[in-house]
A and B are shown apart, each in its own frame.
Chain A
Amino acid sequence: MDYTYKIGLFIPCYVNAIYPEVGIATYKLLKHLGLHVDYPMDQTCCGQPMANAGFEDKGLAAIEKFGELFKDYDYIVGPSASCVAFVKENHPQILAAHGHVCQTEGKIYDICEFLHDVVKPDKLPGEFPYKVSVHNSCHGVRELHLSSASEENVTRYSKIIDLLALKEGIQLTEPKRADECCGFGGMFAVEEQAVSVAMGRDKLRSHMETGAQYITGADSSCLMHMQGIARREKLPVKFIHVAEILASGL
Chain B
Amino acid sequence: MNKNHVTSAERFLKDKEGAQWHNETLWITREKRDKMAMGIPEWEELRELASSIKMHAITHLDEYLLQFAEAAEKNGATVHWAKDATEHNEIVLDLLRKHNAVKVVKSKSMLTEECCLDDFLCDNGINVIESDLGERILQLLNQPPSHIVMPAIHLKRQIIGKLFEEKLHTEEGNSDPTYLTGCMRENLRQEFLSTEVAMTGANFGIAETGDVVVCTNEGNADMGTSQANVHIVSMGIEKVIPDRDSLAVFTRLLARSATGQPITSYTSQYRKPRKGGELHIILVDNGRSDILGNKEHMQTLKCIRCGACMNTCPVYRRSGGYSYSYFIPGPIGINLGMLKSPQEYYTNLSACTLCFSCNNVCPVKIDLGNQIYRWRQSLDSIGKANPAKKMLSNGMSILFNHPGFFRSALQMAPVVNKIPRPLKYNKFNKWGEGRELPEFAPETFTSWWNKNVKR
Contacts and interface: CB of A to CB of B under 8 A. Distances in A.
Interface of A: 11, 13, 15-21, 23-24, 27, 39, 41-45, 47, 49-56, 58-59, 61-62, 65, 138-139, 142-143, 149-154, 177, 179-181, 183-202, 224-225, 227-229, 231-232
Contact of B445 (A24, A151, A181, A191): A24
Contacts of A138: 353-357
- Which residue, of B359, B393, B448, has the highest number of chain A Cβ atoms within 10 A? B393
Given A54-B380, A232-B436, A15 B445 contact: yes
Secondary structure call for the A interface: helix
A188 B352 contact: yes
A224 B435 CA distance: 10
B436 A183 contact: no
A185 B357 contact: no
Interface in B399-453: 399-401, 403, 406, 410, 413, 430-431, 433-441, 443-446, 448-449, 453
A50 B444 contact: no
A200 B155 CA distance: 25
A39 B314 contact: no
Contacts of A54: 349, 376-380, 385-386, 389, 393
B10 interface: yes
12 contacts: A17-B410, A18-B439, A54-B379, A62-B401, A150-B34, A152-B360, A153-B38, A193-B431, A196-B353, A196-B434, A225-B435, A231-B435
Given A20-B444, A59-B396, A179-B357, 15 more contacts: A13-B406, A41-B446, A44-B403, A49-B393, A138-B356, A139-B356, A142-B355, A143-B356, A153-B38, A180-B314, A181-B357, A198-B13, A198-B19, A202-B23, A227-B438
B223 to A, nearest CB: 35
Nearest to B386: A191
B40 A153 contact: yes
Contacts of A56: 377
Nearest to A234: B436
A152 B357 CA distance: 10
A55 B390 contact: yes
B397 interface: yes
Contacts of A227: 436, 438
Contacts of B437: 228
- Which residue, of B27, B351, B431, has the highest number of chain A Cβ atoms within 10 A? B431
B37 interface: yes
A18 B27 contact: no
Interface string B331-361: 0000000000000000001111111110111
Interface of B: 5-6, 9-10, 13, 19, 23, 27, 34, 37-38, 40-41, 43-44, 312, 314-315, 318-319, 349-357, 359-361, 373, 376-380, 385-386, 388-390, 392-394, 396-397, 399-401, 403, 406, 410, 413, 430-431, 433-441, 443-446, 448-449, 453-454
A41 B354 contact: no
The 7 A-B pairs of least Cβ separation, nearest first, read A185-B353, A228-B435, A197-B434, A54-B376, A151-B360, A181-B355, A23-B445
B169 to A, nearest CB: 40
Contacts of A201: 434
A203 to B, nearest CB: 9
Contacts of A151: 34, 37, 312, 357, 360-361
Secondary structure call for the B interface: helix
A53 to B, nearest CB: 5
Contacts of B400: 13, 44-45, 47, 59, 61-62
A22 B445 CA distance: 9
Contact of B430 (A18, A42, A61, A190): A190
Contact of B403 (A39, A43, A225): A43
Contact of B434 (A27, A150, A193): A193
Nearest to A40: B403
A202 to B, nearest CB: 7
Nearest to A24: B448
Contact of B399 (A44, A183, A191, A197): A44
Nearest to A19: B441
A149 B440 contact: no
B369 to A, nearest CB: 8
Contacts of A185: 352-355
A160 B428 CA distance: 37
A181 B314 contact: yes
A153 B357 contact: no
A11 B380 CA distance: 30
Contact of B44 (A27, A153, A196, A231): A153
A18 B438 contact: yes
Contacts of A21: 441
A54 B373 CA distance: 7
Contact of B376 (A52, A189, A194): A52
A182 to B, nearest CB: 9
Given A41-B403, A153-B37, A153-B40, A231 B436 contact: yes
B397 A188 contact: no
Nearest to A12: B445
A51 B396 CA distance: 11
A27 B453 contact: yes
Given A56-B377, A149-B360, A187 B392 contact: yes
B359 to A, nearest CB: 7
B44 A184 contact: no
A189 B448 contact: no
A27 to B, nearest CB: 7
Given A54-B380, A153-B44, A16 B444 contact: yes
Contact of B410 (A16, A23, A193): A16
A151 to B, nearest CB: 4
Contacts of A183: 314, 353
B347 to A, nearest CB: 11
A20 B445 contact: yes
A217 to B, nearest CB: 14
